């Protein structure tokens, strides 16, 4: 996006955050003291509280800035922004308590502080979530977009370009490719061409007002990669450089440093979710899994009854898949006639009529498209076999397709849904790369975002990529 759009974006967020914080503090005061709903026997001076809140808002905004909430790197995509909102609100309350020590005429209510903390997180998340939707809409109108050059041409880089082009909310518009080996003017995709070599990057940045460059190191020689980084860094002029990791970069990101006789040694951390993260994920699976099963039980019973009346028995079907550490189990689903029969043809669209592919009925097709056929897998979650969010289940008998990466995928439980279900992934390699990224960089916010987006796509009765199958055709998962 342009510098002017960036300023508008940040100023708008500062104003919205200030209003959200003020609303949280005012609501907390009203609920705890002003309304009389909760017993409060201490004296409270409304004027002193007003003065305190007036001081607190700019200080809180400063804390938000220190937490990176106005750094465009974390804005408008992914769960990291919401995680930082929670951290900033916690820090804001702590600062508020410290400031209160300097005001001897006011003793803040502890209940008010707790309410203000929770409401601040809620209001800021709602405001930023809504603001994202406004920006996404504006991006479809050509605003708040960044022009992007992709360095390197390969099947993977083309898949990335297609993914960026198909999802307008990313705000990234691919201008073309830069490559060492293909001649300038070579058509790489339908409308995208090779615009030059890495040596031409500085010129292309200025000519096309490029805001972001995505470099794929595996497509360049080591010498060319070094030269590209050196040349582009010397003349950035506001242009961001991004590196797209390959398999080995993802695997070797987490390392521990130790020293033996003053020699630094790196210890490679395994690709898995461990320690506190593992406990949080288990807690999320069981608490949310139980809640969903209780809420959805009547709905699941109705689906079972409809299947029995329309398609007959059996109501459920079982597919053997690989679980944690390769342990096999039968994954449950409502019977649609598509499990294990639908085959993936990467890059093709999901047919309008699934009956030709084995759908048992219109009901089976509806359940498959909306992913409601997966609801019985909540039982697998409670039995400890699956997770709500995780890598796509690997069907038994297809292990050889995943090669050396299979052992990494099996370090966690397979998921009912996952990042792979939210976008069009043209190749199995892209899907495995995304699953490895999920395992390596897991956060509870990541899971919550995936669950929310999965629910949205299911309610829309379509896949996230306008008819492109959001899940594996080869497995029916």
Q: Taking a C-beta distance cutoff of 8 angstroms, is the pair 446, 440 a contact?
A: no
Looking at domain 146-244, its CATH superfamily turns out to be NAD(P)-binding Rossmann-like Domain (3.40.50.720)
pLDDT mean over 53-80:
86
Whole-structure pTM value: 0.63
CB neighbours of 105 closer than 8 A, spacing ≥ 6?
A: 45, 48
Count of C-beta atoms within a 10 Å radius of residue 62: 13
Helical ranges in 311-418 per DSSP H: 362-370, 377-382, 406-409
More confident residue, 257 or 446: 446
Which of 342, 340, 323, 338 has its CA nearest to residue 394?
323
- Residues above pLDDT 90, as percent of the chain: 21
Domain boundaries along the sequence of the chain: 3-140, 146-244, 275-459
pLDDT tens column, 140-183? 888 888 888 888 888 888 888 887 877 777 788 888 898 888 88
What is the per-residue pLDDT for 415?
92
Per-residue model confidence (pLDDT) at position 465: 41
Share of the chain above pLDDT 70, in %: 79
Q: How many degrees, rounded to 5, is the angle at CA 254 between CA 241 and CA 414?
A: 100
Return the number of other C-beta atoms located less than 10 Å from residue 290's C-beta.
13
Over 50: is that where the pLDDT of 327 sits?
yes
Reduce the DSSP state of residue 178 to 3 states and report it.
strand
Helices (H) and strands (E) in the chain, counts: 14, 12
Res 88: pLDDT: 92
Helix H segments across 67-154?
80-100, 110-140
d(CA 276, CA 272): 12
Express each pLDDT in 273-309 by its tens digit: 777 888 889 999 999 999 999 999 999 999 999 888 8
Task: Count Cβ atoms within 10 A of the Cβ of residue 104 and give its class: 0-12 exposed, 13-18 middle, 19 or more buried.
Answer: exposed
Give the integer Cα–Cα distance in Å for 259 and 266: 9
Q: Does 354 score more than 70 pLDDT?
A: no
Output 56-61 pairs: Cβ under 8 A, ≥24 positions apart. Answer: 56/21, 56/25, 56/92, 56/96, 56/99, 57/18, 57/21, 57/22, 57/25, 58/18, 59/92, 59/95, 59/96, 59/99, 60/21, 60/88, 60/92, 60/95, 60/96, 60/120, 61/14, 61/17, 61/18, 61/21
Q: What is the mean pLDDT of the chain?
A: 79
CA–CA distance, 107 with 102 (Å, rounded to integer): 10
DSSP letter at 313 equals S
Q: Is the pLDDT of residue 464 over 70?
A: no
The beta-strand segments (E) located in 335-436 are 387-389, 394-395, 415-417
Is the separation of the CB atoms in 48 and 40 below 8 Å? no
pLDDT tops 90 at residue 423: no
Place of tokens 């099996």: 410
- Tell me the mean pLDDT in the region 446-465: 75
Q: H or E stretch including 447?
A: helix 444-459
Is residue 204 scored above 70 in pLDDT?
yes
- 54 has pLDDT over 90: no
The pLDDT value recorded for residue 326 is: 87
Q: Higher pLDDT residue, 47 or 12?
A: 12
The yes-or-no verdict on residue 78 having pLDDT over 80 is no
- Tokens 């979650």, located at residue: 381
- Is the pLDDT at 2 greater than 80? The verdict is no
Query: What radius of gyration do the chain's Cα atoms show?
Result: 26
Query: Where is pLDDT greater, at 370 or 385?
Result: 385
How do 263-268 and 255-260 pair as beta strands?
Answer: antiparallel
The stretch 405-425 carries a mean pLDDT of: 83
Tokens 């750094």 label which residue? 71
CB 453 within 8 A of CB 323: no
Residue 383 pLDDT: 92
* Torsion region of 348: left, alpha or beta (phi above 0 gives left; psi -120 to 50 gives alpha): beta
pLDDT-derived band at 347, boundaries 50, 70, 90: very low
Read off the pLDDT band of 407 (50, 70, 90): confident
Range in 121-135, 306-320, 377-391 the model is least confident about = 306-320
Residue 22 is predicted with a pLDDT of: 93
């Amino acid at each position: 996006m342009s510098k002017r759009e960036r300023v508008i974006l940040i100023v708008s967020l500062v104003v919205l955050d200030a209003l959200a914080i003020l609303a949280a503090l005012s609501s907390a005061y009203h609920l705890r003291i002003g309304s009389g709903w909760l017993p409060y026997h201490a004296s409270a001076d409304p004027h002193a509280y007003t003065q305190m809140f007036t001081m607190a808002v700019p200080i809180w905004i400063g804390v938000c800035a220190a937490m990176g909430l106005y750094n465009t790197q974390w804005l408008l995509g992914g769960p990291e922004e919401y995680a930082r909102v929670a951290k900033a609100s916690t820090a804001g309350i702590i600062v508020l308590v410290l400031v209160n020590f300097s005001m001897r005429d006011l003793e803040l209510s502890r209940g008010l502080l707790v309410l203000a903390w929770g409401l601040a997180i809620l209001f800021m998340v709602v405001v930023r979530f809504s603001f994202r939707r406004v920006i996404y809409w504006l991006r479809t109108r050509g605003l708040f977009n960044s022009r992007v050059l992709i360095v390197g041409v390969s099947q993977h880089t083309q898949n990335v370009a297609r993914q960026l082009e198909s999802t307008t909310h990313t705000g990234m518009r691919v201008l073309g490719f830069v490559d060492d080996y293909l001649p300038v003017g070579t058509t790489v995709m339908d409308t995208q061409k090779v615009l030059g070599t890495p040596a031409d990057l500085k010129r292309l940045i200025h000519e096309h007002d490029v805001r972001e460059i995505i470099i794929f190191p595996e497509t360049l020689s080591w010498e060319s990669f070094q030269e590209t980084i050196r040349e582009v860094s010397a003349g950035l002029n506001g242009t961001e450089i991004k590196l797209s990791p390959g398999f080995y970069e993802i695997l070797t990101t987490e390392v521990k440093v130790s020293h033996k006789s003053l020699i630094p040694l790196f210890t490679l951390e395994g690709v898995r979710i461990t320690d506190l993260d593992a406990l949080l994920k288990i807690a999320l699976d069981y608490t949310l899994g139980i809640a969903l099963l209780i809420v959805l039980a009547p709905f699941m019973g109705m689906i079972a009854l409809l299947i029995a009346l329309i398609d007959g028995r059996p109501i459920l079907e079982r597919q053997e898949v690989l679980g944690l550490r390769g342990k096999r189990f039968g994954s449950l689903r409502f019977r649609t006639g598509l499990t294990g029969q639908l085959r993936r043809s990467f890059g093709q669209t999901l047919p309008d009529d699934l009956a030709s592919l084995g759908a048992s009925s219109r009901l089976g097709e509806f359940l498959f498209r909306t992913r409601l056929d997966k609801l019985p897998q909540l039982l697998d979650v409670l039995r400890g076999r699956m997770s709500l969010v995780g890598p796509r289940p690997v069907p038994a008998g297809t292990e050889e397709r995943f090669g050396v990466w299979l052992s990494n995928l099996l370090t966690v439980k397979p998921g009912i849904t996952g990042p792979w279900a939210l976008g069009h992934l043209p190749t199995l390699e892209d899907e495995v790369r995304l699953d490895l990224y999920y395992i390596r960089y897991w956060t509870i916010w990541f899971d919550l975002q995936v669950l929310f987006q999965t629910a949205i796509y299911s309610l829309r009765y379509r896949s996230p990529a306008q008819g492109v199958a959001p899940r594996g055709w080869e497995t029916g998962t």
